Amino acid sequence: MSEPIITFDKVCKSFDIAGGDSLQVLDDISFSVGDGEFVAVLGPSGSGKSTLLNILSGLQNPTSGLLDAPSPDEIGFVFQRARLLPWRTVEQNLGITRAARAEGRRTPFQRDIADYLAAAGLSDYGGFYPAALSGGMQQRVSIARALATEPAMLLMDEPFSALDEMTARKQRAFLRDLWLKRRSTIVFVTHNVMEAITLATSVIVLSARPGRVLDHIAIDAEHPRSLTDPAVESVYGRVMGLLGVGERDRAAL
């Protein structure tokens, strides 16, 4: 692994609830992510995947444990929905976010906004308003907007879950190709096992609440990937086993 850019060391997270009780969401989370890695986080609903991203982004603090990660102003975040400003054009959406990040930045941006539009296949759409774009294209704008701030790390919270499967496949291929070119550090939360193992360099599998790291599995396979690849098939089987999905259930999926 390259030099770690993220290190969780025995991180726990609890929330206060009614009656003076607390709900523990994450327990004893420890793992590292190297610079330029693409790490997917899998786990059942309620396992703390989104909470983990919120801690990484600085939106929430851990209850205990240590976290070493880029500062919040060095992080890009892509949500389940694009969250674009509807009264601004595509280019303006990128520009506003980028301008906000420019304040206090120690080094100038290395690339123009046009470069990020081109990388997302949106060069001809800079003057369009979000309403004129498909859901898939809006999500591409969201990814380009995050990348245009030139973050040290990109966090993605189920970015393709709201898309139909055909559109989602195209967006996965787009993200894969973009990562192969730029090698940004990505932490990618998903419920989709195939999405995780066809995109990521490694997969972190969390248990049911409170979320604990069941395994951190490296994926040694070239892109593009297929389940017919023995290395990919092996990881798929391990992940499904950790998630409690047996062979008979897998065959029915």
Q: Which helix (H) or strand (E) holds 181?
A: helix 165-182
Give yes or no for residue 184 having a pLDDT over 60. yes
The owner of tokens 């990937």 is 225
Give yes or no for residue 241 having a pLDDT over 90. yes
Task: State how many domains the chain has.
Answer: 2
Question: How many Å from the N-terminal Cα to the C-terminal Cα in the chain?
Answer: 33
Per DSSP, the three-state class of 119 is helix
**Residues 238, 230: Cα–Cα separation, whole Å:** 12
Asked if residue 186 belongs to a domain, the reply is yes
Q: What is the pLDDT of residue 32?
A: 97
Shared domain check, 165 and 124: no
Give yes or no for residue 250 having a pLDDT over 60. no
Asked if residue 77 belongs to a domain, the reply is no
Asked if residue 75 belongs to a domain, the reply is no
**Residues 223, 179: Cα–Cα separation, whole Å:** 11
Shared domain check, 143 and 162: no
CATH number at residue 188: 3.40.50.300
Q: What is the pLDDT of residue 4?
A: 93
Question: Can you give the residue range of the structural domain that contains 121?
Answer: 86-150
Question: What are the pLDDT digits (tens) for 96-128?
Answer: 989 888 876 777 787 889 999 998 889 999 999
> Which of 29-33, 179-183, 228-232 shows the highest mean pLDDT?
29-33
**Residues 183, 78: Cα–Cα separation, whole Å:** 17
Asked if residue 53 belongs to a domain, the reply is yes
Shared domain check, 157 and 65: yes
